[in-house]
Amino acid sequence: VAISFFFQITSPPGCGKTQFCIMMSVLATLPVSMGGLDGAVIYIDTESAFSAERLIEIAANRFPTYFDSDEKLFCMTRSIHLYRELTCCSVLKRIMSLEEEIISKKVKLIIIDSVASVVRKEFDTKLQGNLAERSNFLTRGASVLKYLSEEFSIPVILTNQITTSLSSGPSIQADLVSPADDLSLSEGSSVSGKRDSGGVTAALGNTWSHSVNTRLILQYHDLPTRQLLVAKSPVAPFSAFFYTIEKSGLVLQ
């Protein structure tokens, strides 16, 4: 993961977004000599999806030689600071308080899994008053995260949800949709894998679309294989990789 990058990871449920985030948390704590960032992680969990058991399982199976004792595993877990924030207000408050924590805890990675979850729960897209409030929340959040990433040269990873877009009408929760993140890249297939007149797009809208500089899309292939698409990157061309989800996390084929 490159420093000063703002990553967005989008996929249908079950493709491994949270698994990816947990795996990246482990990698960030590793020494630089092993490809890590040798630092702490801020992990903001809005869906109570983080699993400490899965964290330890990935670490022990991916790097068995390095994590060869309970002491090393415990040291790794202490470097990952988990916050469960279940409302937009608490997420924004946490984001805006991170600067001091980044310095004091030597944080090298920030993960939010996911902002779209709390936005969708709290804001009814049909109410005009909510539109301005939601837009303000997204703008402030994106601005602070981008500042932290650039100021401290640390990557930020954000997971995003998907929204179905119908050609015969507006998208479901259309004002949360990011046109730049069309997930129908693989020949217009829908989430179910069937071709139809619609497509699948990433939620959160243009605020996040313009803030992130790297977009990854995870999608189903022939189970148990899934596909990772590099949809946008300043350092890599559009590309696709196949992977499976194992005890050691996401494993490229």
Domain boundaries, the chain: 6-165+198-210
Largest pairwise CA distance in the chain: 58
Q: What is the pLDDT of residue 228?
A: 96
Q: What is the pLDDT of residue 158?
A: 93
Averaged over 82-104, what is the pLDDT? Answer: 96
pLDDT digits (tens, 9 = 90+) for 110-151: 999 988 888 888 876 666 667 778 888 888 999 999 999 999
Burial of 158 (0-12, 13-18, 19+ CB in 10 A): buried
Q: What is the pLDDT of residue 124?
A: 67
pTM for the full predicted model = 0.84
Quote the CA–CA distance of 219 and 231 in Å, as a whole number. 12
Among candidate residues 25, 5, 41, 3, the one with its CA nearest the CA of residue 146: 5
- Phi then psi for residue 157, to 5 deg, are -115, 125
* CATH of region 6-165+198-210: 3.40.50.300
CA 150 to chain centroid:
18
Helix (H) or strand (E) holding 41: strand 40-45
| Edge-to-edge strand list for the sheet holding 226-232 | 80-84, 40-45, 107-113, 156-160, 6-10, 214-220, 226-232, 239-246, 249-252
